[in-house]
């Protein structure tokens, strides 16, 4: 265990599935509960027998993590990853790891001092809804991605019942009631093949959503007004009925302090200090994203041809999976000179900086020299980019990232998507890389994207400030959790002063 079970009664327990992409927002959420709203929080971590350096830096005091005194991090007994076949899909693997840890969760929650007034889970922990009901603990789902995907998730059981065959064979776009339409090729990966186990897991998790006491959504009102309006007003969602939805975002990781930086990362930030405002392109594909060997080569050549300044986080390529480092985020192997185009580092010296495996993303996105972001469009990275007012070149790899990319480019207006050379492989050629990079960094379209991103940055700050929609929504939920009666009417006293916020 990272921390002993709390000695005083817990207000809220938080259970997160494996993978840094879910751990980050739920841990930041837990810190808000404890620091801003004074709740006693037990954060339950599903562990494996394999190291995760990125997760350690987030949760382990010995790795530099700062844990508030009323936030108690508890490791559940580890699961042996070697007992799960190597070819198991990502969604299957996560769901199996959670299932094998649930009895340990029950044991913790039955402890007298750990029995919470509410349990918050992520979507892969949906089976916890069963024993939440058994233990008379209301269970809330923290939905780690966007409102648009939440509407699709709630609609999927109906779609599954009404449509025969594969969704990808449907003749036209898939229309979610009251929301945008999705091209079949942009659907999240697990629903593209209804014959596989991963689809059955996702359908099961999504079908349990209406049973939650509430859904905490990592977005804010101004970012996704159409999807949020549909959840509140559309007859389809009213008849499910969908549980109450609480918009509390953006919940994002804070900028890394100087004490957390490696010498090479500190050097990257110093390099940025000497570059003109909004002149540098930041490239990284999240904690788990990996490119194929061919795609890494094309991206390298495209960057070089564009002659734009860049900071590129490079990790070893793999032709096996776009999520190749999902469970090993932060791990490093060979140096980038072994897999980048021959001579790339020499030819781009002074033009750009190559960082191996990991970089302080929030510090770089928030730097005045950063002008755009090539991103896989994971929701954490998306929110971090928009919170810093930085537009995106949308480069989705796996999971729901193609749905996010479509929304960012077509609805929100903060991204452009490169055109692929081959729909099957998704390969983006070097000429296309050069074109979109120049467009965003130099062109009028890039300036328009940047203006829109800045507007959303201001909107996000307003939502999180005292009196803002996200702040007040979470404050209301916290007051309910603090009360003896979980559904007691909240008082409206603002707690910003006590939390040291203005």
Q: Does position 131 have pLDDT exceeding 90, yes or no?
A: no
Q: Does position 308 have pLDDT exceeding 50, yes or no?
A: yes
Task: State the DSSP code for 79.
Answer: B
| pLDDT reported for residue 289 | 87
| pLDDT reported for residue 144 | 97
State which of 181-190, 416-425, 456-465 shows the largest mean pLDDT: 456-465
Q: Does position 321 have pLDDT exceeding 80, yes or no?
A: no
Those residues whose C-beta lies under 8 Å from the C-beta of residue 66, and which sit 6 or more positions away, are: none
CA-only gyration radius of the chain, Å: 22
| Strand duo 415-416 + 118-121: pairing | unpaired
153: how many CB neighbours lie within 10 A of its CB? 24
Report the alpha-carbon distance of residue 353 to residue 409 in Å, rounded: 27
Q: Does position 154 have pLDDT exceeding 80, yes or no?
A: yes
Q: Does position 200 have pLDDT exceeding 90, yes or no?
A: yes
97, 48 contact by CB (below 8 A): yes
Task: Work out the average pLDDT over 202-206.
Answer: 97
Report the alpha-carbon distance of residue 337 to residue 315 in Å, rounded: 11
Q: Does position 46 have pLDDT exceeding 80, yes or no?
A: yes
| pLDDT reported for residue 4 | 54
183, 406 contact by CB (below 8 A): yes
Tell me, rounded to whole angstroms, the distance of Cα 328 from its chain centroid: 16
Per the structure block, which two tokens stand in for 270? 């110093």
The angle, 0 to 180 degrees and rounded to 10, between the axes of the packed helices 444-464 and 430-442 is 70
Q: Does position 258 have pLDDT exceeding 70, yes or no?
A: no
What's the whole-model pTM score? 0.92
Q: Does position 317 have pLDDT exceeding 60, yes or no?
A: yes
Q: Does position 392 have pLDDT exceeding 70, yes or no?
A: yes
Exposure string over 12-37, b if 16+ CB within 10 A, otherwise e: bbbbbbbbbbbbbbbbbbbbbbbbbb
Q: What is the mean pLDDT of the chain?
A: 89
403: left (phi over 0), alpha (psi -120 to 50) or beta: alpha
Tell me, rounded to whole angstroms, the distance of Cα 103 from its chain centroid: 26
Q: Which of 27, 120, 39 is nearest to 66 (CA)?
A: 27
Q: Does position 246 have pLDDT exceeding 50, yes or no?
A: yes
| pLDDT reported for residue 212 | 97
Fold of 259-458: Rossmann fold (3.40.50)
Going by pLDDT thresholds of 50, 70 and 90, the confidence category of residue 326 is very low
Higher pLDDT, 54 or 127: 127
Going by pLDDT thresholds of 50, 70 and 90, the confidence category of residue 178 is very high
Going by pLDDT thresholds of 50, 70 and 90, the confidence category of residue 445 is very high
Report the alpha-carbon distance of residue 242 to residue 151 in Å, rounded: 10
| pLDDT reported for residue 330 | 44
Backbone angles phi, psi at 424, to 5 degrees: -70, -45
342: how many CB neighbours lie within 10 A of its CB? 10
| Strand duo 174-175 + 181-182: pairing | antiparallel
Task: Work out the average pLDDT over 288-313.
Answer: 95
Weakest-pLDDT range from 111-115, 195-199, 435-439: 111-115
- Dihedral sign for Cα 3, 5, 10, 15, please: positive
Catalytic residue among 22, 37, 205, 367: 22
Q: Does position 113 have pLDDT exceeding 60, yes or no?
A: yes
Catalytic residue among 36, 92, 122, 189: 122
Weakest-pLDDT range from 124-133, 252-261, 321-330, 453-462: 321-330
Going by pLDDT thresholds of 50, 70 and 90, the confidence category of residue 372 is very high
Report the alpha-carbon distance of residue 42 to residue 462 in Å, rounded: 29
Dump pLDDT digits (tens) for 86-108.
Answer: 888 888 999 999 999 999 999 99
Going by pLDDT thresholds of 50, 70 and 90, the confidence category of residue 369 is very high
3-state secondary structure of 120: strand
In terms of CATH, what superfamily is 12-148+213-253+465-499? Answer: Glycogen Phosphorylase B; (3.40.50.2000)
Q: Does position 329 have pLDDT exceeding 60, yes or no?
A: no
Higher pLDDT, 333 or 232: 232
Task: Work out the average pLDDT over 240-268.
Answer: 85
Task: State the DSSP code for 349.
Answer: B
Per the structure block, which two tokens stand in for 29? 């959420």
Q: Does position 272 have pLDDT exceeding 70, yes or no?
A: yes
Going by pLDDT thresholds of 50, 70 and 90, the confidence category of residue 5 is low
Report the alpha-carbon distance of residue 13 to residue 39 in Å, rounded: 10
Report the alpha-carbon distance of residue 283 to residue 436 in Å, rounded: 13
| pLDDT reported for residue 39 | 96
Report the alpha-carbon distance of residue 55 to residue 112 in Å, rounded: 28
Report the alpha-carbon distance of residue 95 to residue 199 in Å, rounded: 11
> Could you identify the residue written with the tokens 């707690």?
495
| pLDDT reported for residue 251 | 98
With residue 478 as reference, give the H or E element that holds it: helix 469-482
125, 199 contact by CB (below 8 A): no
187, 167 contact by CB (below 8 A): yes
Q: Does position 484 have pLDDT exceeding 60, yes or no?
A: no
Q: Does position 17 have pLDDT exceeding 90, yes or no?
A: yes
Those residues whose C-beta lies under 8 Å from the C-beta of residue 425, and which sit 6 or more positions away, are: 292
365: how many CB neighbours lie within 10 A of its CB? 22
Q: Does position 378 have pLDDT exceeding 50, yes or no?
A: yes
Report the alpha-carbon distance of residue 212 to residue 203 in Å, rounded: 16
Q: Catalytic site residue 22? A: yes
3-state secondary structure of 85: coil
Backbone angles phi, psi at 448, to 5 degrees: -65, -40
Weakest-pLDDT range from 284-298, 372-386, 388-402: 284-298
Q: Where do the CATH 3.40.50.2000 domains begin and end in the chain? A: 12-148+213-253+465-499, 259-458
Of the chain, the percentage scoring pLDDT greater than 90 comes to 73
Higher pLDDT, 336 or 500: 336
Going by pLDDT thresholds of 50, 70 and 90, the confidence category of residue 161 is very high
Tell me, rounded to whole angstroms, the distance of Cα 89 from its chain centroid: 19
Q: Catalytic site residue 122? A: yes
| pLDDT reported for residue 175 | 94
């Amino acid at each position: 265990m990272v921390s002993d079970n709390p000695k005083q009664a817990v207000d809220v327990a938080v259970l997160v599935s494996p993978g840094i992409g879910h751990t980050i927002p739920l841990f930041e959420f837990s810190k808000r509960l404890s620091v801003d709203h004074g709740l006693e929080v037990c954060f339950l971590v599903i562990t494996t027998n394999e190291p995760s350096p990125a997760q350690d830096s987030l949760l382990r005091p010995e790795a530099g993590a700062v844990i508030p005194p009323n936030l108690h991090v508890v490791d559940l007994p580890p699961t042996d990853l070697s007992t799960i076949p190597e070819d198991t899909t990502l969604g299957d693997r996560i769901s199996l790891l959670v299932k094998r840890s649930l009895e340990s969760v029950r044991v913790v929650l039955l402890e007298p001092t750990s029995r919470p007034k509410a349990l918050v889970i992520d979507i892969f922990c949906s089976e916890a809804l069963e024993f939440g009901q058994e233990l008379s603990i209301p269970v809330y789902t923290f939905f780690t991605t966007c409102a648009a995907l939440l509407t699709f998730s709630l609609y999927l059981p109906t779609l599954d019942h009404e449509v025969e065959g594969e969704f990808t064979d449907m003749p036209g776009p898939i229309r979610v009631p009251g929301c945008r339409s999705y091209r079949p090729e942009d659907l999240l990966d697990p629903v593209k093949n209804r014959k596989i186990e991963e689809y059955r897991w996702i359908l099961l998790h999504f079908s349990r959503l209406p049973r939650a006491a509430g859904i905490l959504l990592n977005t804010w009102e101004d970012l996704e007004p159409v999807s949020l309006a549909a959840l509140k007003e559309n007859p389809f969602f009213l008849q499910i009925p969908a549980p109450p939805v609480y918009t509390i975002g953006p919940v994002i990781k804070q900028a890394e302090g100087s004490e957390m930086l490696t010498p090479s990362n500190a050097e990257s930030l110093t390099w940025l200090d000497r570059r003109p405002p909004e002149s540098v392109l930041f490239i990284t594909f999240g904690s788990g994203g990996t490119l194929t060997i061919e795609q890494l080569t094309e991206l390298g050549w495209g960057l070089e041809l564009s002659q734009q300044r860049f900071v590129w986080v490079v990790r070893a390529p793999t032709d096996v999976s776009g999520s190749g480092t999902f469970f090993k985020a932060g791990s490093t192997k060979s140096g980038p000179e072994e897999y980048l185009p021959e001579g790339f580092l020499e030819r781009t010296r002074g033009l750009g900086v190559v960082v191996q495996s990991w970089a302080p993303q929030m510090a770089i996105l928030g730097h005045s020299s950063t002008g755009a972001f090539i991103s896989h469009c994971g929701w954490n990275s998306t929110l971090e980019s928009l919170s810093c007012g930085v537009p995106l070149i949308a480069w989705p790899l796996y999971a729901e990232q193609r749905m996010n990319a479509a929304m960012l480019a077509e609805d929100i207006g903060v991204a452009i998507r490169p055109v692929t050379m081959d729909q099957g492989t998704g390969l983006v050629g070097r000429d296309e890389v050069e074109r979109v990079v120049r467009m965003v960094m130099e062109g009028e379209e890039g300036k328009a994207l940047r203006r829109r991103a800045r507007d959303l940055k201001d909107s996000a700050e307003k939502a999180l400030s005292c009196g803002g929609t996200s702040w007040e929504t979470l404050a209301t939920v916290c007051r309910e959790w603090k009360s003896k009666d979980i559904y007691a009417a909240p008082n409206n006293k603002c707690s910003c002063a006590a939390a040291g916020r203005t």
